[in-house]
A and B are shown apart, each in its own frame.
Chain A
Amino acid sequence: GENVEQHPSTLSVQEGDSAVIKCTYSDSASNYFPWYKQELGKGPQLIIDIRSNVGEKKDQRIAVTLNKTAKHFSLHITETQPEDSAVYFCAVHHGGSNYKLTFGKGTLLTVNP
Chain B
Amino acid sequence: SAVISQKPSRDICQRGTSLTIQCQVDSQVTMMFWYRQQPGQSLTLIATANQGSEATYESGFVIDKFPISRPNLTFSTLTVSNMSPEDSSIYLCSGNRDLNTEAFFGQGTRLTVV
Instruction: Spell out A's residues near B (CB within 8 Å).
Output: 34, 36, 41-46, 49, 89, 91, 97-106
Number of A-B pairs, beta carbon distance below 8 Å:
49
Specify which chain A residues have a CB less than 8 angstroms from the CB of B44 in the assembled complex.
103
Considering the chains assembled together, what is the distance between the CA atoms of A42 and B110 in angstroms?
10
Closest 7 CB pairs of A and B: A43-B105, A103-B43, A43-B107, A105-B42, A103-B42, A44-B105, A43-B108
CB-defined A-B contacts under 8 Å, sample of 26: A34-B103, A36-B105, A41-B107, A41-B110, A43-B4, A43-B92, A43-B105, A43-B106, A44-B43, A44-B105, A45-B105, A46-B102, A46-B103, A46-B104, A98-B56, A99-B96, A99-B99, A100-B33, A101-B45, A102-B45, A103-B43, A103-B44, A104-B42, A105-B41, A106-B41, A106-B42
Check A101 against B105 for contact (C-beta < 8 Å).
no
Specify which chain A residues have a CB less than 8 angstroms from the CB of B99 in the assembled complex.
97, 99
Specify which chain A residues have a CB less than 8 angstroms from the CB of B33 in the assembled complex.
100
Specify which chain A residues have a CB less than 8 angstroms from the CB of B106 in the assembled complex.
43
Contact of B45 among A42, A45, A97, A100 (CB under 8 A): A100
Considering the chains assembled together, what is the distance between the CA atoms of A43 and B107 in angstroms?
4
